[in-house]
Structure 1
Amino acid sequence: MVDLHCHILPGIDDGAQNMSDSLAMAKQAVEEGITTIVATPHYHKTVYENTKPTILSKTNELNEALKTEGINLRILPGQEPRIDGDLLVDLEESKAITLAGSTYLFIEFPSAHVPRYTEKLLYDLQQFGYTPIIVHPERNQEVIEHPEILYHFVNNGALTQVTAASLCGDFGKKIKSFSLQLVEYNLTHFIACDAHNTTKRRFRMQEAFKQVSMKFGTDYEYMFQENAELLIEGKNVYKEMPERIKKKKLFKLF
Structure 2
Amino acid sequence: MHFEKLVDLHCHILPGIDDGSPDLEHSLFLANEAVKDGVTHILATPHHLDNEYVNHKDKVIQLVQDFQRELDAREIRLKIFPGQEVHLNGDLPQRYPDLLGADERKNYMMLEFPHTNVPAYAKRIIFELQKLGTTPVIVHPERNKEIQKDLNLLYEFIQQGALAQLTATSYIGGFGDHVADISNELIEHRLVQVVASDAHTLKGRDFVLHEALEKIARDHGECVAYEFENNAENILNGSSVTAKGYRKIEKKKFFWFF
TM-score bracket relative to the smaller structure? over 0.9
1:10, 1:22 within 8 Å by CA — same for their partners in 2?
Answer: yes
Q: Which blocks of at least 5 consecutive residues in structure 2 are unaligned?
A: 1-5, 254-258
Hey, what does 1:18 align to over in structure 2? 23
Matched, 1:2 2:15: no
Q: CA deviation at 1:181?
A: 0.8
Percent of aligned pairs sharing the same letter: 39
**TM-score with structure 2 setting the length:** 0.93
- Equivalent residue for 1:229? 233
Matched, 1:109 2:113: yes
**Paired residues for 1:117-132 under 5 Å:** 117-132=121-136
Q: Give the one of 92, 101, 106 matched to 1:98.
A: 101
Cα separation, 2, equivalents of 1:46 and 1:218: 39
Query: Is 1:89 aligned to 2:94, yes or no?
Result: yes
**Which of 201, 205, 211 is the matching residue for 1:207?**
211
Provide the alpha-carbon RMSD of the alignment: 1.2
Shift of 1:8: 0.2
Match of 2:3 in 1: none
Residue 160 of structure 1 aligns to a residue in which SS?
Answer: strand
| Structure 2 equivalent of residue 175 of structure 1 | 179
3-state DSSP class of the match of 1:134?
strand
Note the residue ranges of structure 1 that are not aligned, 5 or more in a row: 250-254
1:150 and 2:154 aligned:
yes
- Equivalent pair of 1:28/1:198 in contact (CA under 8 Å): no
Deviation of the 1:126 alpha carbon: 0.7
Task: Report the number of matched residues.
Answer: 247
**SS of the residue 1:237 aligns to:** coil
Q: Distance in 1 between matches of 2:11 and 2:157?
A: 24
TM-score, with length taken from structure 1 = 0.94
Work out whether 1:77 is the aligned partner of 2:79: no
Moved over 6 A (4+): none
Residue 252 of structure 1: aligned partner: none
> What is the rounded CA distance, in whole Å, between the counterparts of 2:239 and 2:231 in structure 1?
9
Q: Is the 8 A contact 1:6 1:40 kept in 2?
A: yes
- For 2:198, what is the secondary structure of its paired residue? coil
Structure 1 counterpart of 2:39, which letter?
Answer: I
1:133 is matched with: 137
Aligned equivalents of 2:23, 2:182: Cα separation in 1: 34
Deviation of 1:145 after TM superposition, in Å, equals 0.5
- CA distance in 1 between partners of 2:51 and 2:59 (Å): 16
1:231 maps to a residue whose letter is I
Structure 1 residue identity aligned to 2:33: Q
Letter in 2 for 1:128: L
